[in-house]
Structure 1
Amino acid sequence: MKLELVVIPVADADRSKAFYTRLGWRLDIDFNGDDYRVIQFTPGGSDASVMFGKNITAASPGTGQGLHVVVTDIEAARKDLRSRGIEVSEVFHDKNGIFHHSNGRGIAKGPNPDRKSYASYFSFTDPDGNGWTVQEITARLPGHRGDHSFTPQLTAAVWGSEP
């Protein structure tokens, strides 16, 4: 199985379309039906897309939280979004180096001091408050994208210790 699509709840399809266009994501679909609208965008380099519109989810606008996109250079990605007029947070990292906490505890300013993969982030929201996190990944853990090998050296490089 592969994740193909995430539906995000929005209040105003046109306003959201303008926002996701400004992000630089590819517009795949903008279809108007009698009582619904489907708009789909795909981030550059991604196999998965986001969809929003009118009458395609019962979820309340802005309740999409914890949505993650990944980049190989957190600072360049932040600079790019800011140049597009997107309000973004400062770069941050989890003090334990594993994963950021949604409650904001254990978070420190700046990228991970060791620049460990999976450990540096920034965030932004769309016009409805759907929450996005941008995560820096420079080396994938074993088992990703068909790699069935176990390599303790890669695991140590990513997480800082062997399992």
Structure 2
Amino acid sequence: MTSTTHATEPTATTQADLKLEAVVIPVSDVDRSKRFYQDLGWRLDADFAFDNGFRVVQVTPPGSPASIQFGTLITNQRPGTAEGIYLVVSDIAAARDQLVALGADVSEIFHPQAPGAQFGQIPDGQADGPATDRASYGSFATFRDPDGNAYLIQEVTIRFPGRVDTAATAYASLNDLVEALKRAAVAHGEHEARNGGAYDENWPEWYAAYMVAEHHGDELPR
């Protein structure tokens, strides 16, 4: 008698988490790259070298759950060929100013008008300045590391539905929380104006509801 074993289909409670922890980029001079990223304020997590010539350096951008790795004997890619590494920010103007002050050669802010324009590959497909009404996901800037590996800075303030854990509301950094509070304050001022300008005693609850809805991409309270 032959028995057949069937694989158990994953369920919501059994599916393993697959958390993206690090992306490898190809560089030609490890120490130069290490200095560049540290000068930008990225946290140095590791620098391990071995007798066989293998070396791995890991750095993490401020507020990021994922890291960047580079080194020697770590990849066969040609230095400078990494493209389209997204760095998401809540205020693109402030982020650009900070990166420039720290030594990065950052492009001017722009918004795409055609698919692919965010990488500057379609000269007529992008327009100067942030997206109209600062629409979430719509404003960009770019910069490259010393080898030419390309980073894309993208402003995200309201997430598309389904893109975040609906059971939790969390902010990656103090700056993200501050910017969320600022947006809630502006929206609440408009809310009070619509209601005759009367002081809203329940403003903490309104702020909280607005920030949770914004974070999850739900309909915003008015």
The answer to whether the 8 A contact 1:99-1:119 is kept is: no
Q: 1:27 aligns with which of 39, 44, 49?
A: 44
SS at match of 2:99: helix
2:43 counterpart of 1:43: no
Give the Cα–Cα distance (whole angstroms) in 1 for the partners of residues 106 and 128 of structure 2.
14
* Cα distance, 1:95 vs structure 2: 2.4
Matched residue, 1:111? 130
Alpha-carbon contact 2:118-2:140 (below 8 Å) kept: no
- The equivalent residue for 2:142 is 123
The answer to whether residue 71 in structure 2 is matched with residue 53 in structure 1 is yes
Contact (CA 8 Å) 2:111, 2:118: kept in 1 or not?
Answer: no
Paired AA for residue 76 in structure 1? A
Flag structure 1 segments of 5+ consecutive residues without an equivalent. 158-163
The alignment covers a number of residue pairs equal to 153
Percent identity, aligned pairs only, is 50
1:161 maps to none
**2:26 pairs with 1:2:** no
Higher strand share: 1
1:143 aligns with 2:162: yes
Which digits, 9 at most, give the CA deviation of each residue in 1:125-159, with x for residues without a partner? Answer: 000000000000011111123128xx9xx4788xx
8 Å Cα contact 1:10-1:52 kept in structure 2:
yes
AA aligned opposite 1:84: L
**Partner Cα distance (2:45, 2:80) in 1:** 22
Cα distance in 2, alignment partners of residues 79 and 29 from structure 1: 28
Compute the displacement of 1:91 (Å): 0.3
Higher relative contact order (CA 8 A, sep 6+): 1
Unaligned ranges ≥5, structure 2: 1-17, 168-212
Measure the CA separation in 2 of the matches of 1:120 and 1:101.
9
Which residue identity does 2:137 align to in structure 1?
Answer: Y
Q: 2: distance between equivalents of 1:88 and 1:3?
A: 26
TM-score normalized with structure 1 length: 0.86
Give the superposed CA RMSD: 2.2
| Cα-to-partner distance string for 1:78-109 (whole Å, 9 max, x where unaligned) | 0001111111100000126x774432241000
Distance 2:75 2:140 in 1: 28
Are positions 1:74 and 2:92 aligned together?
yes
The structure with the largest helix share of the pair is: 2
Change (3 A) 1:101 1:124: closer
Contact 1:69 / 1:135 at 8 angstroms: preserved in 2? yes
- Aligned partner of residue 164 in structure 2, secondary structure: helix
